[in-house]
Structure 1
Amino acid sequence: MKKVEAIIQQEKLEELKVKMDNSFEAMGMTVTQVLGFGNQKGLKEYVRGQEIITTLLPKVKVSFVVLDEKVEEVISLIMAICQTGEVGDGKIFVYHVEEAIRIRTGERGAKAI
């Protein structure tokens, strides 16, 4: 099993959620509001004539635990929805998951996800 974690632009979340739900039956998703910076280096705004530079930008982190054979399919779907070609599109990370346990039933492994 693998954990696929993507940090994406907030406006892409709803479309990603709908496509993931339609493409992968019974797949769970965890969503976290995060702040961060990278190559984008923040935004310059003017408030009442004062220049304000925001270095930490709001993003969304979405996480999926999937079977090994579904990883590339999940990555491709995230890329298709979230890639604009502009700085700030986000990042995808893939981690190995040793075990998954459903607390309610005690199921383990693939049955738990």
Structure 2
Amino acid sequence: MSDDDTVDADDEIKLVMAMIRPDRLGAVKQALAEVGAPSLTVTQVSGRGSQAAKKGQWRGEEYVVDLLQKVKIECVVADIPAEDVVEAIREAAHTGEKGDGKIFVLPVDDAVQVRTGESGPEAV
């Protein structure tokens, strides 16, 4: 790789993806805005991890709920460190109980702004 091929760390685009408890979404949105990452995508999802399944009874029949409701947050950043976004989400989503969630950081090869056609970090 030549010197011209090196990627400046400031030009990196990262996708921070987190699965959290639905009741922590408001706190996470506020924390992201405070660190300068107000743009996000939120999806209602269900899943399971180390949190125990819940048993219930309906009309005399027992059932198990092993897929729990979660919220998936996706935040693409280029102009602020992904570590700041991760820490903001972690602090705001933390309750100390099993099922608080997970955070993943992934590299993004490129981004394109549909309206302007800009690409790379400027598109984010």
TM-score (norm 2): 0.82
Q: For 1:56, which of 67, 70, 90 is the aligned residue?
A: 67
Return the letter of the residue paired with 2:91. Answer: A
The match for 1:74 among 85, 104, 109 is 85
Query: Which residue does the alignment assign to 1:40?
Result: 51
Matched-pair identity in %: 42
1:2 and 1:68 in contact (8 A); partners too: no
Equivalenced residues, count: 112
1:7 to 19, 37, 51: 19
Q: Secondary structure at the match of 1:53?
A: strand
Q: Is the 8 A contact 2:35 2:84 kept in 1?
A: no
Whether the aligned pair in 2 keeps the contact of 1:35 and 1:58 (CA below 8 Å) is: yes
Let me know the Cα RMSD of the aligned residues.
1.7
Q: CA deviation at 1:61?
A: 0.3
Residue type of the alignment partner of 1:18:
Q
Taking the aligned partners of 2:36 and 2:75, their CA distance within structure 1 comes to 11
- Matched to 1:12, the amino acid is R
Kindly provide the CA deviation profile for residues 53-86 of structure 1, in whole angstroms up to 9, marking residues without a partner as x. 1011110000011127511101111111111221
Residue 18 (structure 1) aligned with residue 30 (structure 2): yes
Secondary structure of residue in 1 paired with 2:122? helix
**Equivalent residues of 2:31, 2:89 under 8 A apart:** no
Q: Which has the larger radius of gyration?
A: 2
**Which contiguous aligned blocks of 4+ residues in structure 1 show a shift greater than 2 angstroms?**
45-52
- What is aligned with 1:28? 39
Distance (whole Å) between structure 2 residues aligned to residue 15 and residue 6 of structure 1: 14
Gaps of 5+ in 1: none
- Between the aligned partners of 2:35 and 2:59, the Cα distance in structure 1 is 46
Q: What SS does the corresponding residue of 2:70 show, helix, strand or coil?
A: strand
Tell me, yes or no, if the aligned pair for 2:19 and 2:73 is still in contact at 8 Å: yes
TM-score, normalised to structure 1, is: 0.89
Q: CA deviation at 1:21?
A: 2.0
In 2, distance between residues paired with 1:78 and 1:49?
41
